[in-house]
Amino acid sequence: MLQSISKYKLYLYLFFLIFLSSIFNFKFLENYQDKFRLKSININGVYDKEKEYIKEELDKLKNKSIFDIKKSNVIEILIKFNIIESIYVKKILPSSLNINLSKTSILAKTFINGEEFFIGKNGKYINSDQIFKNFKTATVFGEFEIKEFLNLHNILNNHQLEIGNIEKYYYFKNKRWDLVFSNNLVLKLPSKNKSDSIKIFKQLIHNNNLINTKIVDLRVSNQIIITNKNE
């Protein structure tokens, strides 16, 4: 009988030992998991207002295990912000993310179905809701593909034309552009050989041949048609 009681006590002790050990292990695991849950997201490379706007979306990742968060998870959230050009993500153990962002340059603005959009150097239309700084930039009119505008912009840059002096771009369905400068001078470009036409225009500027000029028409190959302001 005594032996049975001793065995009973032994089993009881073992039960409590296992029970207490399980509680300890559970608490340890819970504390361990909590330690590595995402608690802090540090964003660099954008203005404070942009940071707040972006952080609202990234907060969806908080309290997830930092080991389960991949760069693709962050990019999936940030890709909707068209103003962002590049993303660098680094995990800081135990519970932080460092995100360095690079913004695209704003080249111009346009209107799509009556709504204002900015044109980024990254080839994306940027909703004005994502812009928290006032930009004085040219306006592009017409139904154009963004690659058409970027191609023109690159040509103008390559010829070192003062792009900041252009106030308006007009795009036509035959893939032709009119440029309106701040002094109201209008440059009419052809649908092809735009680079050669810009080169001719630069020479006219350099030789001071555009004084009192209203329109420079380079639409026809090998012809320069100049209209004066008093005509």
Distance CA 169, CA 184 (A): 12
Specify whether the CB–CB gap between 132 and 49 falls below 8 A: yes
Query: 3.90.1150.10, 3.60.20.30, 3.10.20.310, 3.40.50.11540: which CATH number matches 40-103?
Result: 3.10.20.310
Q: Which CATH superfamily is domain 138-228 in?
A: Cell division protein FtsQ/DivIB (3.40.50.11690)
Across the chain, which has 231 residues, the per-10-residue mean pLDDT values are 50 52 49 77 90 90 89 91 93 91 94 94 92 86 95 95 94 95 94 93 82 91 85 64
Q: Which two tokens stand for residue 162?
A: 């003062």
What pLDDT score was predicted for residue 49? Answer: 86
- Strand residues in 32-165 grouped as ranges (E): 40-44, 84-92, 96-103, 106-112, 115-120, 125-127, 139-141
94 upstream amide cis, omega within 30 of 0: yes
Q: Can you give the pLDDT at residue 26?
A: 47
Structure tokens at 153: 């912009």
pLDDT at 18: 56
For residue 96, what are its two tokens? Answer: 């932080």
Amino acid letter, 231: E
Q: How far apart are CA 49 and CA 119, in angstroms?
A: 20
* Beta-ladder partners of 88: 100
pLDDT of res. 47: 87
Pairing label, strands 96-103, 115-120: unpaired
Count helices and strands (H / E) in the chain.
Answer: 5, 12
